Amino acid sequence: MTVPDRPVPHPSPLTAPFWAGCRENRLLVQRCDKCGTHVFTPQEFCRECHADALTWVESAGTGSVLTFTVVWRPQTPAFEVPYVVAVVRLDEGYEMLTNIVDAAPDAVAIGAPVRVRFTPVTEAITLPCFGIAA
């Protein structure tokens, strides 16, 4: 039995800098030039002050688990179970939906410190996942 390919994102002109950064093992995020708010997911304007001057900057890639769930029945056989889907709050103040990797599901807890870990999926796509920080 062959396992289907894992679904991957399709970069758009707006998200291309984010995905290019991930391929280079750099977590890039937009920061508002007017109010300094970090904006994720990529947007045309700042969610805080509505300015349209956003600059791509590198994130430290550290934060903590805000919430999570353990998936035991995947939507596609391309994913091995169990796996952890989490929302992490990065130290710069923005949040990301991601996977927690290299940790047993019972090792994940709300508030646990995390650090970005890049997971190549295809030649073009590298995903920013997170591992529990020591």
Instruction: Count H helices and E strands in the chain, helices first.
Output: 1, 8
Residue 2 predicted with pLDDT over 70: no
Domain assignment of residue 1, yes or no: no
pLDDT, the chain, mean: 94
What average pLDDT does the segment 58-79 reach?
95
Asked whether residue 6 is domain-assigned, the answer is no
The answer to whether residue 73 is domain-embedded is: yes
- Look at residue 50 and tell me if it is in a domain: yes
In the predicted structure, residue 1 carries a pLDDT above the cut 50:
no
Q: 19 vs 80, which has greater pLDDT?
A: 19
In a domain, residue 41? The reply is yes
Separation in Å, CA 130 to CA 12, 42, 108, 120 = 23, 19, 11, 13
Q: Give a yes or no: residue 7 inside a domain.
A: no
Residue 4 domain-assigned (yes or no): no
Number of domains in the chain: 1
Mean pLDDT of 36-59: 97
Q: Is residue 89 part of a domain?
A: yes
Mean pLDDT of 74-90: 93
Q: Which domain holds residue 21?
A: 16-132
Average pLDDT for 109-131: 96
Model confidence, pTM? 0.91
Q: Is residue 18 within a helix (H) or strand (E), and if so which, with residue range?
A: helix 16-23
Going by C-beta distance under 8 Å and a sequence separation of 6 or more, which residues neighbour residue 45? 51, 52, 54
Residue 4 is predicted with a pLDDT of 58
Q: Give Cα separations from 18 to 24, 94, 101 (angstroms).
A: 10, 14, 20
